[in-house]
Amino acid sequence: MRLLQQLSAKPYSTFALDTQLAELVELESLAELMAYQPQATPLLLGEGSNSIFLSNQTQTVLRYLAKSRTVLSEDEKNVQLHIEAGDNWHQLVSWTVAQGWWGLENLSLIPGSVGAAPVQNIGAYGAELADCCDYVDFFHWQSREVQRLSKGDCGFAYRDSIFKTALAGQGVIVAVGLTLKKQGQPKLGYKGLEHLNQHSSVAEVAQAVIAVRQSKLPDPAVLPNCGSFFKNPVVSHTVFETIQHAYPAIPFYPQADGLVKLAAGWLIEQVGLKGQRIGDVGCYEKQALVLVNFGLGTAADLKQMIALIQQKVAVTFAVQLEPEVRLLG
């Protein structure tokens, strides 16, 4: 176990606001987690790629860093994996792609830890974690025991899960179970993947996704950001038709339940905010969905930019944007 006190929050959030953490605890194994007895419920943090500390944090911040990969079973069709929560998500994806296994390729280059993936039910380019997740192992603070939640128990929805609702603050995700396929069909329904076909390899799909992401998303080490800042809104077909009548070129993605998903970045661009900034926080010039810290951004700058985006999109499209990023404090 590692205990740090009174330290800058900058290294622990890729948005890098200059706030402070009162206490940070890092645990390296399940045994350490089971032995740890917090005085109050700690705030969980993965790699900080989806969390922004808006103010000085007095609550203890806990990072669970255990990482191992275990092949539970394998046959000619599938492979079942048990992955500890501290593993890096993109490194895991790259490893599975190198094995020739299908299922995670469209989720390449998403930053963060494996343990954070079920919380958001991370998704990109027509795929999401729920597509291949079998179970999530969850350590409860109260019972001091690990519970295995099946995929059905996890309440997966668009950027949502039981870990953001009923189990929020109740414990720690310690591992994830995945089933990947030896033979797969590429998911190519998103812009940037048109040059591929159903005969493309899993590595070709992953490389195409990485290329698209790198062309649109700034490197947080160079320009601090948390990737896509807002959820893509899902609206009724009636609302969609009203918007499409005024904006025939609007990109849209029909959902199985009859609703329609819209591209939040496109909406923000249409209201003229792409490349705009307030203080040292702004909409990235290559992708309006990404908010960036130009170096000296403050929480006040960020909150004003969020409010401006939400207000303009609501007035123009009657659509309310919700942050995908976790705002703390």
Residue-wise pLDDT tens digits, 8-39: 999 999 999 999 999 999 999 999 999 999 99
Sequence-distant contacts of 126-134: CB under 8 A, at least 24 apart: 126/187, 126/189, 126/190, 127/103, 127/187, 128/156, 128/158, 129/156, 130/154, 130/156, 131/103, 132/103, 132/104, 132/178, 132/179, 132/180, 133/176, 133/177, 133/178, 134/80, 134/177, 134/178, 134/179
Kindly report, residue by residue over 128-172, the tens digit of the pLDDT. 999 999 999 999 999 999 999 999 999 999 889 999 999 999 999
Catalytically annotated residue among 63, 159, 213, 326: 159
Between residues 216 and 111, the one the model is more confident about: 111
Give the pair of three-digit tokens for residue 56. 């000085």
Dihedral pair phi/psi, residue 3, rounded to 5°: -120, 125
**Helix residue ranges per DSSP H, the chain:** 30-35, 89-98, 117-120, 202-216, 237-246, 264-270, 299-317
User: In this structure, are residues 113 and 173 in contact, taking their beta carbons and an 8 Å threshold?
Assistant: no
Amino acid symbol at 258 = G
Catalytically annotated residue among 13, 49, 161, 228: 228
What is the average pLDDT across 313-323?
97
> Rounded mean pLDDT of the chain?
96
Whole-number Å distance between alpha carbons of 279 and 277: 6
User: In this structure, are residues 45 and 21 in contact, taking their beta carbons and an 8 Å threshold?
Assistant: no
Active site residue 324: yes
pLDDT of amino acid 106: 97
